[in-house]
Structure 1
Protein backbone atom coordinates (compact mmCIF):
# COMPACT_ATOMS: atom_id res chain seq x y z
CA UNK A 1 0.00 0.00 0.00
CA UNK A 2 3.05 2.29 0.21
CA UNK A 3 2.53 3.64 -3.34
CA UNK A 4 -0.88 4.95 -2.24
CA UNK A 5 0.27 6.83 0.87
CA UNK A 6 -0.92 10.19 -0.51
CA UNK A 7 -3.99 8.85 -2.31
CA UNK A 8 -7.47 10.13 -1.49
CA UNK A 9 -10.17 7.55 -0.68
CA UNK A 10 -11.82 8.13 -4.08
CA UNK A 11 -8.56 7.04 -5.73
CA UNK A 12 -8.53 3.66 -3.98
CA UNK A 13 -10.39 0.48 -4.84
CA UNK A 14 -12.71 -1.13 -2.31
CA UNK A 15 -10.08 -3.74 -1.49
CA UNK A 16 -7.42 -1.09 -1.01
CA UNK A 17 -9.72 0.87 1.30
CA UNK A 18 -10.38 -2.28 3.34
CA UNK A 19 -6.65 -2.97 3.68
CA UNK A 20 -6.03 0.65 4.73
CA UNK A 21 -8.79 0.29 7.34
CA UNK A 22 -7.19 -2.90 8.65
CA UNK A 23 -3.77 -1.22 8.78
CA UNK A 24 -5.23 1.72 10.71
CA UNK A 25 -6.88 -0.59 13.20
CA UNK A 26 -3.72 -2.67 13.69
CA UNK A 27 -1.62 0.47 14.19
CA UNK A 28 -3.46 1.02 17.48
CA UNK A 29 -2.16 -2.35 18.80
CA UNK A 30 -5.58 -3.77 19.65
CA UNK A 31 -6.05 -6.92 21.69
CA UNK A 32 -8.99 -7.91 19.46
CA UNK A 33 -10.06 -6.91 15.95
CA UNK A 34 -13.71 -7.19 14.91
CA UNK A 35 -14.64 -7.80 11.27
CA UNK A 36 -18.22 -7.73 9.99
CA UNK A 37 -18.37 -9.17 6.48
CA UNK A 38 -15.17 -7.39 5.36
CA UNK A 39 -15.41 -8.75 1.81
CA UNK A 40 -19.15 -8.55 1.19
CA UNK A 41 -19.13 -5.29 -0.80
CA UNK A 42 -15.92 -5.95 -2.70
CA UNK A 43 -15.41 -6.75 -6.36
CA UNK A 44 -14.63 -10.50 -6.44
CA UNK A 45 -11.15 -9.74 -7.78
CA UNK A 46 -10.36 -7.68 -4.65
CA UNK A 47 -11.43 -10.29 -2.10
CA UNK A 48 -8.20 -12.29 -2.07
CA UNK A 49 -6.07 -9.24 -1.19
CA UNK A 50 -8.20 -8.48 1.85
CA UNK A 51 -8.29 -12.13 2.92
CA UNK A 52 -4.50 -12.33 2.53
CA UNK A 53 -4.11 -9.33 4.85
CA UNK A 54 -6.41 -10.92 7.41
CA UNK A 55 -4.64 -14.29 7.09
CA UNK A 56 -1.31 -12.58 7.82
CA UNK A 57 -2.82 -11.01 10.94
CA UNK A 58 -4.20 -14.36 12.07
CA UNK A 59 -0.71 -15.84 11.87
CA UNK A 60 0.58 -13.17 14.28
CA UNK A 61 -1.72 -14.53 16.97
CA UNK A 62 -3.97 -11.46 17.05
CA UNK A 63 -7.46 -12.35 18.26
CA UNK A 64 -10.03 -11.65 15.57
CA UNK A 65 -13.78 -11.98 15.74
CA UNK A 66 -15.03 -12.39 12.21
CA UNK A 67 -18.53 -12.48 10.75
CA UNK A 68 -18.21 -13.93 7.25
CA UNK A 69 -19.69 -16.07 4.53
CA UNK A 70 -16.15 -16.88 3.32
CA UNK A 71 -16.38 -20.43 4.66
CA UNK A 72 -13.11 -21.79 3.28
CA UNK A 73 -11.26 -18.82 4.76
CA UNK A 74 -12.99 -19.23 8.13
CA UNK A 75 -12.14 -22.94 8.14
CA UNK A 76 -8.48 -22.24 7.35
CA UNK A 77 -7.76 -19.52 9.93
CA UNK A 78 -10.14 -20.19 12.81
CA UNK A 79 -9.35 -21.71 16.17
CA UNK A 80 -12.97 -21.50 17.28
CA UNK A 81 -16.09 -21.30 15.11
CA UNK A 82 -19.58 -20.23 16.10
CA UNK A 83 -22.29 -20.98 13.54
CA UNK A 84 -25.32 -18.78 14.05
CA UNK A 85 -28.79 -19.19 12.58
CA UNK A 86 -31.46 -16.51 12.93
CA UNK A 87 -29.34 -14.70 15.54
CA UNK A 88 -28.96 -17.76 17.77
CA UNK A 89 -25.91 -19.98 18.24
CA UNK A 90 -26.73 -23.21 16.43
CA UNK A 91 -23.37 -24.90 16.96
CA UNK A 92 -19.85 -24.07 18.07
CA UNK A 93 -16.53 -25.83 18.30
CA UNK A 94 -13.13 -26.02 16.69
CA UNK A 95 -12.88 -25.37 12.97
CA UNK A 96 -12.32 -29.09 12.46
CA UNK A 97 -15.40 -30.04 14.50
CA UNK A 98 -17.69 -27.61 12.71
CA UNK A 99 -16.42 -28.05 9.16
CA UNK A 100 -15.52 -31.74 9.18
CA UNK A 101 -18.04 -33.22 11.60
CA UNK A 102 -20.96 -30.87 12.28
CA UNK A 103 -23.54 -32.26 14.68
CA UNK A 104 -26.52 -30.02 14.01
CA UNK A 105 -28.68 -30.52 10.93
CA UNK A 106 -28.85 -26.77 10.26
CA UNK A 107 -25.06 -26.55 10.22
CA UNK A 108 -24.82 -29.53 7.88
CA UNK A 109 -27.35 -28.01 5.48
CA UNK A 110 -25.56 -24.66 5.41
CA UNK A 111 -22.13 -26.18 4.87
CA UNK A 112 -23.39 -28.51 2.18
CA UNK A 113 -24.73 -25.52 0.32
CA UNK A 114 -21.63 -23.34 0.76
CA UNK A 115 -18.82 -25.87 0.75
CA UNK A 116 -20.38 -28.78 -1.11
CA UNK A 117 -18.58 -31.01 1.40
CA UNK A 118 -20.81 -32.22 4.22
Structure 2
Protein backbone atom coordinates (compact mmCIF):
# COMPACT_ATOMS: atom_id res chain seq x y z
CA UNK A 1 0.00 0.00 0.00
CA UNK A 2 2.99 2.31 0.17
CA UNK A 3 2.62 2.92 -3.58
CA UNK A 4 -1.15 3.46 -3.60
CA UNK A 5 -0.93 7.12 -4.65
CA UNK A 6 1.92 6.69 -7.14
CA UNK A 7 1.45 7.28 -10.85
CA UNK A 8 2.32 4.32 -13.11
CA UNK A 9 5.43 6.11 -14.41
CA UNK A 10 6.80 6.09 -10.85
CA UNK A 11 6.43 2.30 -10.51
CA UNK A 12 8.95 -0.30 -11.63
CA UNK A 13 8.08 -2.58 -14.53
CA UNK A 14 7.42 -5.43 -12.12
CA UNK A 15 5.15 -3.25 -10.00
CA UNK A 16 3.28 -2.15 -13.12
CA UNK A 17 2.78 -5.77 -14.17
CA UNK A 18 1.51 -6.73 -10.71
CA UNK A 19 -0.94 -3.80 -10.79
CA UNK A 20 -2.15 -4.92 -14.22
CA UNK A 21 -2.71 -8.45 -12.89
CA UNK A 22 -4.56 -7.11 -9.83
CA UNK A 23 -6.78 -4.95 -12.04
CA UNK A 24 -7.60 -7.95 -14.23
CA UNK A 25 -8.39 -10.06 -11.15
CA UNK A 26 -10.85 -7.41 -9.95
CA UNK A 27 -13.06 -8.48 -12.87
CA UNK A 28 -13.15 -12.03 -11.42
CA UNK A 29 -12.18 -13.71 -14.69
CA UNK A 30 -12.48 -17.44 -15.23
CA UNK A 31 -9.39 -17.39 -17.46
CA UNK A 32 -6.43 -15.01 -17.61
CA UNK A 33 -4.28 -14.52 -20.69
CA UNK A 34 -0.61 -13.58 -20.35
CA UNK A 35 1.41 -12.71 -23.46
CA UNK A 36 5.14 -12.52 -22.71
CA UNK A 37 4.37 -10.82 -19.40
CA UNK A 38 8.05 -10.72 -18.40
CA UNK A 39 9.68 -9.87 -21.74
CA UNK A 40 10.08 -6.13 -21.11
CA UNK A 41 11.15 -6.43 -17.48
CA UNK A 42 14.60 -6.04 -16.00
CA UNK A 43 15.88 -9.52 -15.11
CA UNK A 44 15.75 -8.66 -11.39
CA UNK A 45 12.00 -7.99 -11.60
CA UNK A 46 11.00 -11.11 -13.51
CA UNK A 47 10.88 -13.24 -10.36
CA UNK A 48 8.38 -10.91 -8.69
CA UNK A 49 5.89 -11.25 -11.52
CA UNK A 50 6.41 -15.00 -11.89
CA UNK A 51 5.75 -15.39 -8.16
CA UNK A 52 2.37 -13.68 -8.54
CA UNK A 53 1.56 -16.05 -11.40
CA UNK A 54 2.70 -19.07 -9.36
CA UNK A 55 0.30 -18.03 -6.62
CA UNK A 56 -2.54 -17.72 -9.13
CA UNK A 57 -1.76 -21.23 -10.38
CA UNK A 58 -1.80 -22.59 -6.81
CA UNK A 59 -5.18 -20.95 -6.30
CA UNK A 60 -6.54 -22.74 -9.36
CA UNK A 61 -6.70 -19.84 -11.82
CA UNK A 62 -6.90 -21.03 -15.40
CA UNK A 63 -4.20 -19.22 -17.36
CA UNK A 64 -3.10 -19.24 -20.97
CA UNK A 65 0.52 -18.10 -20.92
CA UNK A 66 2.74 -17.23 -23.88
CA UNK A 67 6.29 -17.25 -22.54
CA UNK A 68 9.93 -17.96 -23.15
CA UNK A 69 10.36 -18.64 -19.40
CA UNK A 70 10.73 -22.39 -19.90
CA UNK A 71 11.58 -23.32 -16.32
CA UNK A 72 8.50 -21.43 -15.14
CA UNK A 73 6.31 -23.09 -17.79
CA UNK A 74 7.58 -26.51 -16.75
CA UNK A 75 6.81 -25.74 -13.11
CA UNK A 76 3.28 -24.34 -13.38
CA UNK A 77 1.78 -25.69 -16.61
CA UNK A 78 -0.68 -28.54 -16.88
CA UNK A 79 -0.13 -28.59 -20.63
CA UNK A 80 2.59 -27.15 -22.85
CA UNK A 81 2.17 -26.22 -26.49
CA UNK A 82 5.34 -25.49 -28.44
CA UNK A 83 4.77 -23.34 -31.51
CA UNK A 84 7.09 -22.30 -34.32
CA UNK A 85 6.16 -19.75 -36.99
CA UNK A 86 2.57 -19.69 -35.77
CA UNK A 87 2.06 -23.45 -36.02
CA UNK A 88 1.76 -26.03 -33.27
CA UNK A 89 4.81 -28.29 -33.42
CA UNK A 90 4.24 -30.32 -30.28
CA UNK A 91 1.97 -30.40 -27.26
CA UNK A 92 1.58 -32.44 -24.12
CA UNK A 93 2.23 -32.58 -20.39
CA UNK A 94 5.23 -30.49 -19.30
CA UNK A 95 7.36 -33.47 -18.28
CA UNK A 96 6.86 -35.15 -21.67
CA UNK A 97 7.73 -32.01 -23.61
CA UNK A 98 10.72 -31.06 -21.47
CA UNK A 99 12.24 -34.50 -20.89
CA UNK A 100 11.41 -36.33 -24.12
CA UNK A 101 10.38 -33.95 -26.90
CA UNK A 102 9.36 -35.80 -30.06
CA UNK A 103 10.13 -33.17 -32.69
CA UNK A 104 13.59 -31.97 -33.68
CA UNK A 105 12.50 -28.32 -33.64
CA UNK A 106 11.33 -28.64 -30.03
CA UNK A 107 14.60 -30.32 -29.06
CA UNK A 108 16.68 -27.58 -30.70
CA UNK A 109 14.69 -24.80 -29.05
CA UNK A 110 14.78 -26.32 -25.57
CA UNK A 111 18.50 -27.04 -25.82
CA UNK A 112 19.20 -23.42 -26.80
CA UNK A 113 16.96 -21.95 -24.09
CA UNK A 114 17.69 -24.27 -21.18
CA UNK A 115 21.48 -24.29 -21.62
CA UNK A 116 21.89 -20.51 -21.30
What secondary structure does 2:41 align onto?
Answer: coil
1:62 match: 61
Kindly report the root-mean-square deviation, in angstroms, between the aligned alpha carbons of the 2 structures: 0.7
Query: Is the aligned partner of 1:49 residue 2:48?
Result: yes
> TM-score, normalising length from structure 1?
0.95
1:28 match: 27
Residue 10 of structure 1: how far off its partner (Å): 1.1
What secondary structure does 2:25 align onto?
Answer: helix
Deviation readout 1:39-91 (Å, 9 max, x if unpaired) = 00001111000000011001111100000000000000000000000100000
> TM-score, normalising length from structure 2?
0.97
1:76-95 superposed matches below 5 A:
76-95=75-94
Matches of 2:80 and 2:95, distance apart in 1: 9
2:7 match: 8
1:96 match: 95
Unpaired runs of 5+ residues, structure 1, are none
Deviation readout 1:82-105 (Å, 9 max, x if unpaired) = 000010000000011111111111
Runs (4+) off by over 4 Å = none
Q: How many correspondences in the alignment?
A: 115
Matches of 1:35 and 1:71, distance apart in 2: 14
What secondary structure does 1:34 align onto?
Answer: strand
Matches of 1:26 and 1:96, distance apart in 2: 29
1:114 match: 113
